[in-house]
Amino acid sequence: MDSFARKLLDWHAIHGRHDLPWQLDPTPYGIWVAEVMLQQTQVTTVAPYYERFMRRFPTLEALAEAPLDDVLGLWAGLGYYARGRNLHRSARIVVERCEGRLPDTFEGLVSLPGIGRSTAGAILAQAHGRRCAILDGNVKRVLARYHAMEGWPGESAVERALWEYAEHHTPPDRVAAYTQAIMDLGATVCTRRRPLCTECPVARGCAARQAGIEDRLPAARPKRNRKQRVSTILIVIDPEGHVLLERRPEQGIWGGLYSFPELRDGEEPGQWCDRKLGARVRSVRKCDPVMHSFTHFDLELAPFEVSLAGGPNIVGDGRDRLWQDPATPPTVGVAAPIAALLRSLADRLDE
């Protein structure tokens, strides 16, 4: 075991996190769920979602048997919704092809939707004690600083070098503890801004610290002009005060979630209601735009609030369209901006 791994393990025994929900009763299934949720999401955000998710789906079989709407309903607000869809798809694949047992080989895990090299390594290390390296965002930051690795970690050459360092430092035993230790170090000490170098167990060997460049490593993603998109949405309210939600296509933003209907270019709200609902419009009000940022672009939601004069004459099949009481939390998955608009509407209708 090299000194880097030994120092991390000694530090983690005293200062690491040992009471995270998925650590209390670790199972391959629970670790898998946690690792998927932790992709690009902080522990403090994930913990309550994980606990609710595991109460509702305590076993892999329960997850596989559940409707996708139930899964996405519990995922709402966590973001990166493809993770929830992939988790559900993978659970069904495991039940159908693996007799309900999550694969315990690297090849078997990475064959499942949503499981890449680092997630598979984390599952094998923490659930089975296998010597498998990981390279999530926290680990990339620790290793880039320790080895003074220049360049953005998203570049293939930089990522390859970081994987080599990750493999080199992963010890032959105590792998589960080491995996948690290096993630904890990145999350609590070797933080993105203002790293706590005086509290770091490997600071004396850190090349970035010695060179005084820890604040600028790892390098940031090269700046690109962010794309701007505009989506005109309809907040359609029936005479009973319910609002229309439609399931979005699985491909694209908020795939599989429910949202307000989207208006085609050049179409008026009244035309849409006539075509889709066979309903007459009583009033139309243009609302303030809502901005939402994704990883690669900014989205402007341009809402029109549409009040119907009567109930719709065209009824949906009940799976892809529903009328939601805005004062009642949805049981289906909705994205955070849509949930915020529903709460705002409920507050205003209650005045």
Catalytic machinery residues: 35
**Per-residue buried b or exposed e for 1-28, using 16+ beta carbons within 10 Å of the residue's own CB:** eeebbebbbebbeeebeeebbbeeeeeb
Q: From the CA atom positions of the chain, what is the Rg in Å?
A: 24
Alpha-helical regions (H) of the chain: 3-15, 21-24, 28-37, 43-56, 60-65, 68-75, 82-97, 106-110, 117-128, 137-146, 156-169, 175-188, 207-211, 269-277, 336-349
Length of the chain counted residue by residue:
351
Of the candidates 165, 153, 135, the residue with the CA atom closest to the CA atom of residue 220: 153
Q: How far apart are CA 214 and CA 148, in angstroms?
A: 8
C-beta separation of 188 from 257 below 8 A: no
Cis peptide before 218 (omega within 30 of 0): yes
Which whole-number Å values give the CA distances from 16 to 10, 178, 191, 200, in the listed order? 9, 10, 14, 12
Using DSSP's 3-state secondary structure scheme, residue 76 falls into coil
C-beta separation of 188 from 43 below 8 A: no
